Amino acid sequence: MTSDEQSTGIAHIADLDRLIHEPARLMILAVLYVVESADFGFLMNQTGLTYGNLSSHMSKLEEGGYIEVVKQFKGKRPNTMLSLTDAGRAAFQDYRQTLLDLLSDLPD
């Protein structure tokens, strides 16, 4: 164990995945984590995000390889479906465990 990496202690919180840590994206991933697949409008309802914000966060999660985005037509209108990738699921689980470890083991 070197000086800057320790299994116990809280310094590893600094390494929290920033792509997940942003509240808007945390919400998106939390929804996708349980429903497996959701369309753009459903996610807007669940998260309270605007079109613009959901769109840009969606792009970042896609670029990071955490979600897959499938665009199709539902009738005559465009429809965007999102789902977690395996990498996204793994990263979310890791993020979740790190935070739970910190927050659970506190007094009061």
Distance, in Å, from the CA atom of 85 to the CA atom of 76, rounded to the nearest integer, reads: 28
Q: Which does 65 bind (CB under 5 to 8 A by kind): a second copy, DNA, none?
A: none
- 18 counts as binding DNA under rule CB under 7 A: yes
Distance, in Å, from the CA atom of 20 to the CA atom of 6, rounded to the nearest integer, reads: 22
Distance, in Å, from the CA atom of 40 to the CA atom of 32, rounded to the nearest integer, reads: 11
- 76 counts as binding DNA under rule CB under 7 A: yes
Least Å from the CB of residue 107 to a second copy: 7
- Per the CB < 8 A criterion, the answer to whether 67 and 61 are in contact is yes
Buried b (16+ CB within 10 A) or exposed e, 59-73: eebeebebbeeeeee
Q: Which does 46 bind (CB under 5 to 8 A by kind): DNA, a second copy, none?
A: a second copy
48 or 87: CB nearest DNA: 48
41 or 48: CB nearest a second copy: 48
Residue type, 63: E
Considering only 12, 17, 22, 98, the residue that binds DNA (CB under 7 A) is 22
30 or 107: CB nearest DNA: 30
Region 31-70 residues binding DNA, contact defined as CB under 7 A: 39-41, 50-60
Distance, in Å, from the CA atom of 67 to the CA atom of 85, rounded to the nearest integer, reads: 5
